[in-house]
Amino acid sequence: MIDAVSFSCFRRAAAVVCVVVLAAGALGPLGGCAGVVVGGGAVVGTAAYQERGVRGVARDLATATKLRTQLLDAGEAYVTGVGIEVYEGRVLLTGTLETEAMRAVAVKLAWKTDGVKDVINEIQIGQSSLRDMAKDSWITAQLQTKITFDKKILAINYSIETVNGIVYLIGIAQNQGELDRIIAHGRGIDYVRRIISHVRVKKGRS
């Protein structure tokens, strides 16, 4: 559990550092920090294998970077408290903020960001303890491992975020059966309270 806490804290801290560097102009819009900024997003080396393709991944990474920069300008609490996943221009906001007003600010900033087609607000009001963060990191890692080794799932097309035991999914499913397998894997993991899917199922696939 200590390792999970350290990883979660490192990931959020790294996101802050990367946004600062990007804002300063030291890197291009798709600099080396992009993978950290979007959390579970794919790196460029695997982008070609995703349904959204290299250009789609690049656009989503750029959008996530712009939004992270705006959140940094709004205050450190927004950067450390809000998780961002961008998929096909759809922004999934997760994490925890202390007040409803802060959540409204985060959503407003997301809608104002270039490249955003839709904003999915899943930000919770409150705080997560280190124990909760450790469990969430463990859940995400467990589910990612399960779907990666499931030969009937193209895991590269999915992003996973877990907040206070609630698992959020976004991405593209080849068919409903593939998505059902992911949800089944998630339900079999300890500490999972609920699974919320924002996954798009490909048309013409059953």
**Is residue 134 a contact partner of residue 8, using CB atoms and an 8 Å limit?**
yes
Gyration radius of the chain's alpha carbons: 16
Q: Confidence band (pLDDT; 50, 70, 90) for 58? A: very high
Specify the range with the lowest mean pLDDT, choosing from 95-99, 104-108, 127-131, 200-204: 200-204
Q: Tell me the per-residue pLDDT of 126-176, one tens digit each, with 9 for 90 and over.
A: 988 999 999 999 999 999 999 999 999 999 999 999 999 999 999 999 999
Q: Exposed, middle or buried: residue 183 (CB in 10 Å: 0-12, 13-18, 19+)?
A: middle
Average pLDDT over residues 166-193: 97
* 44 has pLDDT over 90: no
pLDDT > 70? residue 56: yes
Range picked from 5-9, 54-58, 129-133, 175-179 for highest mean pLDDT: 175-179
Averaged over 59-83, what is the pLDDT? 96
Q: What's the rounded mean pLDDT across residues 6-29? A: 39
For the stretch 111-123, pLDDT in tens is: 999 999 999 999 9
Output 100 or 41, whichever has higher pLDDT. Answer: 100
Q: How many C-beta atoms lie closer than 10 Å to residue 113's C-beta?
A: 21
CB of 30 closer than 8 Å to CB of 45: no
pLDDT of residue 115: 94
Q: What is the mean pLDDT of residues 189-201?
A: 97
Which residue in 81, 200, 90, 195 sits closest to 143, CA to CA?
Answer: 195
* Mean pLDDT (whole number) for 196-200: 98
Q: What is the pLDDT of residue 49?
A: 62
| Euclidean distance between CA atoms 59 and 36, whole angstroms | 15
- Retrieve residue 58's tokens: 């690049």
Say what the pLDDT of residue 52 is: 85
Q: Are 191 and 139 in contact (CB under 8 A)?
A: yes
Q: How far apart are CA 68 and CA 16, in angstroms?
A: 8
Rounded mean pLDDT, 88-111:
97
Distance CA 110, CA 107 (A): 5
